[in-house]
Structure 1
Amino acid sequence: MAPPNQGSFLMRTIRRLLYREIIASTAFVMLAFLALFFFIDFVGEMENVGKHGYTFFDALLSCLLQLPGHLYELAPIGVLIGAIYAMARLAQSSEYTILRTGGLDPLRALKLLSTLGMVFVLITFVVGDVMTPWSQTRATLMQSQFSGGLRMGRHGVWLRDVHVDDQGKEHHVTVNVAGARSDGAVTDISIYEFDPQGRLTSRINAARANIDDEGRWELEDVVQIHWPAQLEQEPPPDTQLPRMTWTSGLDRDVVAAAVLPLATMSTWALYTYMEHLSGQAQAAQRYELQFWKKALYPFACLVMMALALPFAYLSTRRGGVGFKVFGGIMLGISFVLLNNVVGHLALLHDWTPWLAAGAPSLIYLLMSLAAFGWLVRYR
């Protein structure tokens, strides 16, 4: 029996070997994927070069800003392929067999890979919650700058707000925003105010608006229309103003969440907007599902590490590494497909968001543990 110091030194050596192999393989796979996606994005952006002042360097910057989003999306697949390649190579060269005889039992191996998996979970969370929202926002605003602004489709974006002013009066407001500019201003705004009985009392149309963190809208080129409480009363004439300050409960973060794509939102931003929609009695299931998917997605890296471990017990002395890597690619693709399909089905059938978001990872984790237990027992 080895002395305690010798045993701890041996485990540190084993840990360094496994971590070095897996990290190096994963980094290589991620670089290859990112290079491929960068090339595809760049070829697509070259079609817009020369239009509206869009230059070669603008296309290059736009593609670079999209890389964190690709890194976040590909992280679980990259971890899976990199880990499978590392474990299969160790098994092929019989190094993993030597590690097992040196004291690396299955549970200890699972613990070592789980620890590394949690490191990948943390990295994925930082990339997806800090880097990706920032870069996607900049890419969206930059592209809108050369396309005349960000348009919200035929009907724009609808926002609802119920708030009480300083005089204690309750306001029921519905706002439509048709577009946004690269400087953060929104354009083509229509504000409809109703009384507590649901009757339309006023409408404000504005060409542009800047919104602050307190919910103050600085409107420009304003046309204001009022309707009297009684139908027999004569309505006042329309009011035209160059500028107007309008206060509501819709601050800049809420409007940005509604106007910008979902990829630009962090987990906290999704939660804030989800709570706002629920508080205004609006449908929030889409954002609830996206919130839980974003919160649970990094843990898919931990599941992928568990999926890679059984490949170390499929030892072979001749070939087999390429076949195992191909199997890992198929597993990763099937995970992405299942994740997307479950997300769409959850919206169609009104499934519980947190359960729908976590089900694919749970299924693959159970599959990996079952395969690992069978291989340890019978192989």
Structure 2
Amino acid sequence: MKFRPMRFDLYLGRSVFGTVLLTWAVLLGLDVVMAFSGEFKDVGKGGYTIGHAAAWVLYTVPRRAYTFFPTAAVIGSLMGLGQLAATSELTALRALGLSRKRLSASVAIALSLLTAVMVLTGETLAPWAQSRADDIRMSAKWGNDMAVARYSGVWAREGDTFLNAGAGDEQLLPGGGTKLVLRDVRLYKIGDDGKLASLTYAGTAEHGDTGWVLSKVRRDTFGERSATRETVESEPWNSKLDAAALASGISKPRNLRASDLRTSIEYRKRNGLDARDYEDIYWSRWFYPVNVLALCLAAVPFAFGSLRSGGMGKRLFLGILFALGFWLLQLFFGRMAGALKFDYRIAYALPPIVMLVVSGMLFRRKSG
């Protein structure tokens, strides 16, 4: 099938563009309002004010727009095509000799432009803005003793001791509550003369009800002309560092660029650390445009016939149903990949394949 842009391509593209952007604005607006209201509980902590909360939410808008675009694309596409079907405009285009595949190609081209913008945003503006948002929140809540390095995880200072953790996460406790686990931890203690007095390495640093505990500890202490090393399996760490502050400083994989995710994956593999959470997000970025187009194309057959007699509520319901079904399917395969330890590329390729197969079957059925 040869594709040459025609006037009706612009007409279809404009119709889909309008409804997708409107749906996108509604979803994004609701999410921003909910996020801003959720920040009220932290207002007053340290120097965190309503102004800081508003700035944090505004800086996270690019990341939120990136996240909501697939849902907005499928709902907006169905609403746009549904309006054309309800006014018999799709029927008129079919009467001119245009096939369903040709009309679907017009929709795909229109959505590809928006998808390309979102892919670019997800690798440039969104990570930068999210980093600025995190800096604003940490600086306001915890002061200037917290920082996030681009490749070295989180840094914190307590008196004459500097902490660096390569990674970390919060884990649920059996009896309720959470504990913070930092991995690949280094403690740099500076002497009164400004020189490095000791360097402590710990495989993990856990903060629970009893305070901090270091595991697999190796400590090098430096004298005027000597250096000594001691190793212990586990020891308590008398520190008043706030676990909540450290948890907020850990860069989440979903907020990193693909290049940074790749660097983190290689770093963790070199050091024998689990990198599957980063691989999950990394490959989801590569399959993002494929997922958007597959999801929308799978929904297109419903515009030919079933939406002609339906109202706006029916289109909205079908769009939400498709988005939710695809999300559950992707979540299922992603969890299976994590549990069975098979390649995430397979897990992210299967949902769009399933959706496109279903779409092809629907096309043939309606054509027959």
TM-score with structure 1 length normalisation? Answer: 0.70
Whole-Å separation in 2 of the counterparts to 1:239 and 1:15 = 72
| Pairs aligned (count) | 297
* Structure 2 residue 191 is matched with structure 1 residue 206: no
Separation (CA, whole Å) in 1 of partners of 2:30 and 2:186: 49
1:123 aligns with 2:141: no
> Is the CA contact (8 Å cut-off) linking 1:120 and 1:301 kept in structure 2?
no
**2:310, 2:115 → 1: CA distance?**
31
Aligned letter for 2:29? A
Where does structure 2 lack aligned partners over 5 or more consecutive residues? 167-184, 201-219, 225-248
Shift of residue 270, structure 1, vs aligned partner: 1.1
Structure 1 residue 136 corresponds to structure 2 residue 130: yes
Aligned match of 1:223:
197
Counterparts of 1:297-312 in structure 2, within 5 Å, are 297-312=288-303
Q: Is the 8 A contact 2:253 2:277 kept in 1?
A: no
Aligned mates of 1:225, 1:318 — CA distance in 2: 72
Please state how far the C-alpha of 1:122 moved relative to its aligned partner: 0.8
Q: Deviations over 1:227-278 (max 9, x none)?
A: xxxxxxxxxx94369xxxxxxxxxxxxxxxx941112211111122222333
2:104 & 2:291 partners in 1: Cα distance? 16
| Aligned residue in 2 for 1:335 | 326
Q: Answer whether contact 1:144 1:181 (CA < 8 A) is retained.
A: no
Aligned residue in 2 for 1:322: 313
What corresponds to 2:215 in structure 1? none
Task: Tell me the TM-score normalised to structure 2 length.
Answer: 0.71
Q: What are the within-5 Å matches in structure 2 for residues 59-98 of structure 1?
A: 59-98=53-92
Amino acid at match of 1:224: S
Q: Does the 8 Å CA contact 2:20/2:73 hold for their aligned counterparts? A: yes
Please say if 1:180 is aligned against 2:171.
no
Conserved in 2, the CA contact under 8 Å of 1:53 and 1:146? Answer: yes
Q: CA RMSD in A?
A: 3.4
Q: Distance in 1 between matches of 2:26 and 2:258?
A: 28
State how far apart, in whole Å, the 2-side matches of 1:262 and 1:134 are: 14
- The secondary structure found in structure 2 opposite 1:260 is coil
CA deviations over 1:281-320 (Å, ceiling 9, x no partner): 4432222222111111222221122023212212566443
Query: Contact 1:342–1:356 at 8 Å: present in 2 too?
Result: yes
Deviation per CA, 1:20-72: give whole Å up to 9, x if none. 10000000000001110010011011222232121222111111112111111
C-alpha separation between the residues in 2 aligned to 1:62 and 1:42? 9
> Of the candidates 45, 55, 74, which is equivalent to residue 49 of structure 2?
55
One-letter identity of the residue aligned with 1:124: M
Task: Tell me if structure 2 keeps the 8 A contact 1:288–1:353.
Answer: yes
